[in-house]
Every structure is written in structure tokens, then in C-alpha cells.
């Protein structure tokens, strides 16, 4: 894990929690001047607001991703793109270098609090991104496509990467530029949906790295996202690999109708 935390109790908690789960934190820097980022999620029914105190996120940059770390990894994933302006402006270079060293890349942009969803900032990164993993609202915002999720995914796929869209209780779909692969969510009774998207991302990347094809990777990812909602707090109910693959259903693959006239 590469990034920053503050020299504070929250930062110590993050480092300890990652280490306890077997994550290498040697590239996790402690920022002596800025606090650990903190987020509060407010929900009422289907409405959700996310309040973030960015702390050291704004100072996180390409120098926080060591060359030695890139050289020793098979995959590089980035998230919170619009909350890290220093890294966002250089992420294309980081991903390009990862490709040169033989790694694949993925990006979850997450929300853009500014509402700009700047394509001039994002498009150079998409050109060196193997998979982009927005949720449905983010896919629509990134493309300006207000129609269905598949149409937004198709528009985003025109900009380079495999597009994998998380769509809550509706499941997820992937668009590879020519086909749409859809996967329903598991029938679980959710207690807390916080972190479900991140669990989905982890399951999808892990499945691809284990050699699963797109449909099965999408199924594993959907299982990871669905099962993570069984507990509160975002990590308490994350499934193991064996729990996730036990829920592999069949995927539905359909021909793409195409929206080649849409541009961002």
C-alpha cells in the first residue's frame, strides 16, 4: 500500500489494521504536518452525502509511489482520483511506468466534490488504465450520459479502458468496447453499504490476477460487494476468497448496441 497517513491515532489505526490483514505498509508514509484523512458518510434512505476532511490527501503525489514498489508488483490500483490533485496530475506517468514494468492498472475515480469531472485531467490517465471502476452515478457524471448505465459505460469505454460499473442492488456490468457483461447482485439483507464498492474493486482485481475470465471476475466482484454489506463499518463483513467464489453464478453476455456518437 502506497500513500500517506498523519502522525495521529487515526493514522496509527490505519497502519495497524493494514498490517494485521497482511498488507505491506513499507510505502505508507507518515506525514508529520498533516492529519490523516477522515470521512463521514451520512445516509437517509437512498440519499447519501460524503463529508471528507482531506488532511494529507492533498499532499499525496507521485513521489509517494516508489519505483521499487512498481517494479515488484503485478497490478497498480488507484482511488479517490479527484481528492489527490498532486497525484492526479501525474498518475498517467505512474501508470505508464507500471505498464513498462509489466504491471496492469485500474482506477476507481470515486466522487468529484467540485462537480467538474475534468476530462482533460482524466483522459491521459484512462489511456494507460486497463480497468476503470466507477459506480453508476460516477459513470454518468464522467460521460454526461444521463440514460442507462450501459450507455454511460459504452461512452466511457470509447476513452480507452475496460469499464466496470457498480450499480448497487442492480449488480454490475462490464463493457469491453464491444460487449456488455451483466451480473446481478446477491440477494443479501444489507446492514451497511459503506465500502461495498471498494470490496467490489478488490474482488475484481484479485480475480483477474488469479486468471479468471471477465465474466467470472465480475461475478466474484459482485459477490464481494454484496457480502460486504452484511456488517457495519465497511470492512467487518468483507468475504474471504473462498466465500466469494462460492457464489459464482452465471453471467449474462449480450451484444453491444453501441453509442459511438457520444463524446465527453
> First CA to last CA across the chain, in angstroms?
32
Q: What's the confidence (pLDDT) of residue 249?
A: 61
What is the pTM for the complete model shown?
0.89
User: Band of the pLDDT at 258, cuts 50, 70, 90?
Assistant: very low
Backbone angles phi, psi at 51, to 5 degrees: -110, 120
| Grid-cell match 467464489, residue found | 245
* 3-class SS of residue 205: helix
> What is the mean predicted confidence (pLDDT) over 140-160?
93
Instruction: Give yes or no for a contact between 184 and 249, defined as CB atoms under 8 angstroms apart.
Output: yes
How far is residue 196's CA from residue 238's CA, in Å, rounded to a whole number? 9
Tell which wins on pLDDT, 190 or 166: 166
Tell me the pLDDT tens digit for each residue of 49-89. Answer: 888 999 999 999 999 999 999 999 999 999 999 999 999 99
- Are the beta carbons of 235 and 210 closer than 8 angstroms? no
Alpha-carbon dihedral 1, 108, 21, 56, rounded to 10 degrees: 50
pLDDT at 18: 95
Distance between CA atoms of residues 113 and 127, nearest Å: 23
As a whole number, mean pLDDT of residues 123-127 equals 98
Work out the average pLDDT over 203-213: 95
Whether the pLDDT of residue 257 is over 60: the answer is: no
Segment 145-172 mean pLDDT: 93
Please spell the DSSP secondary structure of 163-225, one letter per residue. EEEE-GGG-EEEE-SSEEEEEPPP----S--TTHHHHHHHHHHHHHHTT--HHHHHHHHHHHH
Query: What mean pLDDT comes out for the span 198-203?
Result: 96
- How confident is the model over 24-44, as pLDDT tens digits? 999 999 999 999 999 988 877
Q: Which domains does the chain have, with CATH numbers?
A: 1-60 (no CATH), 66-255 (3.40.1190.20)
Amino acid at each position: 500500500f502506497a500513500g500517506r497517513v498523519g502522525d495521529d491515532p487515526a493514522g496509527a489505526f490505519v497502519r495497524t489494521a493494514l498490517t494485521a490483514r497482511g498488507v505491506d505498509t513499507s510505502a505508507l508514509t507518515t506525514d508529520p504536518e498533516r492529519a490523516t484523512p477522515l470521512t463521514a458518510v451520512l445516509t437517509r434512505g437512498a440519499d447519501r452525502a460524503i463529508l471528507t476532511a482531506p488532511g494529507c490527501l492533498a499532499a499525496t503525489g507521485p513521489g509517494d509511489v516508489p519505483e521499487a514498489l512498481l517494479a515488484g508488483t503485478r497490478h497498480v490500483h488507484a482511488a479517490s482520483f479527484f481528492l489527490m490533485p498532486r497525484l492526479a496530475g501525474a498518475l498517467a506517468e505512474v501508470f505508464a511506468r507500471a505498464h513498462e514494468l509489466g504491471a496492469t492498472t485500474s482506477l476507481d475515480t470515486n466522487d468529484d466534490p467540485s462537480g467538474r469531472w475534468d476530462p482533460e485531467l482524466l483522459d491521459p490517465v484512462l489511456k494507460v488504465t486497463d480497468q476503470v471502476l466507477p459506480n453508476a452515478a460516477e459513470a454518468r457524471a464522467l460521460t454526461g450520459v444521463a440514460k442507462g448505465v450501459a450507455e454511460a459505460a459504452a461512452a466511457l469505454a470509447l476513452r480507452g479502458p475496460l469499464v466496470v460499473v457498480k450499480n448497487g442492488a442492480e449488480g454490475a456490468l462490464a463493457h469491453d468496447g464491444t460487449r456488455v457483461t451483466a451480473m446481478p447482485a446477491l440477494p443479501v439483507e444489507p446492514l451497511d453499504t459503506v465500502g461495498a464498492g471498494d470490496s467490489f474493486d478488490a474482488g475484481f482485481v484479485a480475480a483477474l490476477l488469479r486468471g479468471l475470465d471477465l465474466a467470472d471476475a465480475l461475478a466474484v466482484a459482485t459477490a464481494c460487494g454484496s457480502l460486504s454489506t452484511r456488517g457495519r463499518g465497511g470492512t467487518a463483513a468483507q468475504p474471504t476468497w473462498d466465500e466469494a467464489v462460492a457464489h459464482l453464478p452465471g453471467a449474462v453476455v449480450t451484444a453491444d448496441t453501441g453509442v459511438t456518437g457520444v463524446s465527453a
